[in-house]
């Protein structure tokens, strides 16, 4: 592979020289940041560095849920975080989702306003009806959104599930096709004259008052501002505030059993949706937190077996479920669910810790990052 100092005059002019902004990470947040920067500074040169030959984190591997909070998850969050932080985080997700819809277009990402169901198992405690009413009042007061959540005890009958006593329906969540979203973002970046160098890893950087010197495995380059959009791969920069969280997913072969929507269970630790006649099912990180705190893309067989078992017994009872593909991706979590958007110094900025909800929140993070300069 050619080092930067072996490139032609033309190649250096195009990719290496005079970059005002360099963004590390070609995921949802990196590309959203680049587009927001381009809107504010149309004449400045922008380069995105990506270590993989494809984006290699979470943005091309996720489940395509456009979610901003299920009742059981928000209930959990309220036990761990101050109420105003929970509402601020929801506000950022709603803002990001709106931005995403405007930027990408509903058709381009196959947006489906199907709603979502938060499923409650037989052994699980139900939430108080008063809590659902309190959440609805909060959404109305903070965001002028009425009756976001309702109780749907008929969910198992409706979709032929086994073992759920009730559910909480969120009428505003939906699904999209992950590959269409990422492809549209990429095309928009290229159309906006934003350049990409794939297979190029940022290894170190050093900033002075005027510029940042970046070290990659292909050589050095400089920029005025560096943006770290490296989500689950950011522990070196923020050792105590975040950690990687691997997520396991599988997708079935076509099934006779039809569902229509997005579903969460066990306070968001499992999730599934239909994709045509297939079901995508993911989660189970809570079965082995220690092993899943990793940036390695291996499959965890114990968790994959559990996904299949749940699919077979709870989601498609009585059917023979065959798995077509399995994969994993790397998310980023921390004690705080709010994303970490921060300048490390005058020239280096980070937008990381999407907490597994980057689809909704990613565009808002990109916008806030672009406003740091
Ligand atoms: C299986 C799975 C299911 C998910 N489902 C959903 C869902 O349904 N809804 C939802 O909202 N969210 C979901 N998420 C989370 C969502 O995908 C993420 O929050 C979002 O994609 C994060 O985007 P990002 O750009 O911050 O990070 P990433 O997409 O991880 O991008 C970071 C990029 O940085 C690159 N990089 C890292 N270090 C370097 C370096 N040193 N040099 C160069 N490049 C580097 C990586 O290769 C990577 O491409 C899911 C995640 C996974 C893994």
Tell me which residue has tokens 């699980």. Answer: 124
Best mutation site among 28, 62, 104, 199 for ligand 1, i.e. most ligand atoms within 8 A of its Cβ?
A: 62
Name which of 186, 27, 39, 49 is nearest 104 in CA terms: 186
- Phi and psi (nearest 5°) for 249? -140, 150
Domains identified in the chain and CATH numbers: 4-61+179-240+336-370 (3.50.50.60), 71-83+109-174+242-333 (3.30.9.10)
Whether 27 is in the pocket of ligand 1, judged by its Cβ within 6 Å, is: yes
Q: Which atom of ligand 1 is nearest to the CA of 356?
A: 15
- Residue 267 pLDDT: 80
Q: Is 59 in the pocket of ligand 1 (CB under 6 A)?
A: yes
Q: How far is the CA of 58 from the centre of ligand 1 (A)?
A: 3
pLDDT of residue 209: 87
Residues 230 and 25: their CA atoms lie apart, in Å, by: 5
pLDDT in tens, the chain (373 residues): 899 999 999 999 999 999 999 999 999 999 999 999 999 999 999 999 999 999 999 999 999 999 999 999 999 999 999 999 999 999 999 999 999 999 999 999 999 999 999 999 999 999 999 999 999 999 999 999 999 999 999 999 999 999 899 999 999 999 999 999 999 999 999 999 999 999 999 999 999 989 999 999 999 999 999 999 999 999 999 999 999 999 999 999 999 878 999 999 988 899 999 999 999 999 999 999 999 999 999 999 999 999 999 999 999 998 999 999 999 999 999 998 999 999 999 999 999 999 999 999 999 999 999 999 9
Asked whether 202 lines ligand 1 (CB < 6 A), one says: yes
- pLDDT for position 348: 98
Q: Does the beta carbon of 261 sit less than 6 angstroms from any atom of ligand 1?
A: no
* Residue 231, ligand 1, Cβ within 6 A: yes
Residue 257: the pLDDT is: 78
Of 181, 230, 288, the C-alpha closest to 25 is: 230
State the closest ligand 1 atom to the C-alpha of 271, by its place in the atom list counted from 1. Answer: 8
Burial string for 338-356 (b: 16+ CB within 10 Å, else e) reads ebbbbeeeebbbbbbbbbb
Q: Among 23, 93, 231, which is best to mutate for testing ligand 1, by the most ligand atoms less than 8 A from CB?
A: 231
Q: Is 16 in the pocket of ligand 1 (CB under 6 A)?
A: no
């Amino acid at each position: 592979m050619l080092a930067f100092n072996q490139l032609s005059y033309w190649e250096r002019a195009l990719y290496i020289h005079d970059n005002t902004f360099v963004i590390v990470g070609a995921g949802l947040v990196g590309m959203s940041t680049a587009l927001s920067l381009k809107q504010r500074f149309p004449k400045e040169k922008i380069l995105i560095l990506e270590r993989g030959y494809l984006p290699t984190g979470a943005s091309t591997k996720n489940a395509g849920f456009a979610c901003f909070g299920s009742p059981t998850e928000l209930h959990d969050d309220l036990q761990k975080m101050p109420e105003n932080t929970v509402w601020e985080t929801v506000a950022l997700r709603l803002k990001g989702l709106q931005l995403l819809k405007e930027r990408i277009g509903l058709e381009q990402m196959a947006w489906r306003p199907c709603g979502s169901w938060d499923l409650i198992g037989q052994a699980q405690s139900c939430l108080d009806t008063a809590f659902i009413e309190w959440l609805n009042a909060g959404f109305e007061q903070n965001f002028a959104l009425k009756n976001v959540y309702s109780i749907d005890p008929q969910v198992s009958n409706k979709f032929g599930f086994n073992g759920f006593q009730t559910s909480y329906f969120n009428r505003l969540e939906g699904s999209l096709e992950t590959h269409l979203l990422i492809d549209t973002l990429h095309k928009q970046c290229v159309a906006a004259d934003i350049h990409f160098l794939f297979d190029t890893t940022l290894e170190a950087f050093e900033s002075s008052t005027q510029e940042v010197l970046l070290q990659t495995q292909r050589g050095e380059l400089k920029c005025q501002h560096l943006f770290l959009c490296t989500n689950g791969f950011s522990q070196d920069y923020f050792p105590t505030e975040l950690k990687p969280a691997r997520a396991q997913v599988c997708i079935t072969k076509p099934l006779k059993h039809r569902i229509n929507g997005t579903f969460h269970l066990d306070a968001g630790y499992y999730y599934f949706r239909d994709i045509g006649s297939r079901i995508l099912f993911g989660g189970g990180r809570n079965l082995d937190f220690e092993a899943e705190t990793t940036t390695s893309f291996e499959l965890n067989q114990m968790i994959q077996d559990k996904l299949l078992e749940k699919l077979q017994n709870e989601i498609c009872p009585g059917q023979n479920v065959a798995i077509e593909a399995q994969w994993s991706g790397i998310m980023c979590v921390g004690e705080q669910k709010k994303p970490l958007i921060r300048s490390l110094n005058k020239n280096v900025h980070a937008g990381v810790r999407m907490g597994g909800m980057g689809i909704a929140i990613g565009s808002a993070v990109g916008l806030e990052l672009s406003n740091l300069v």
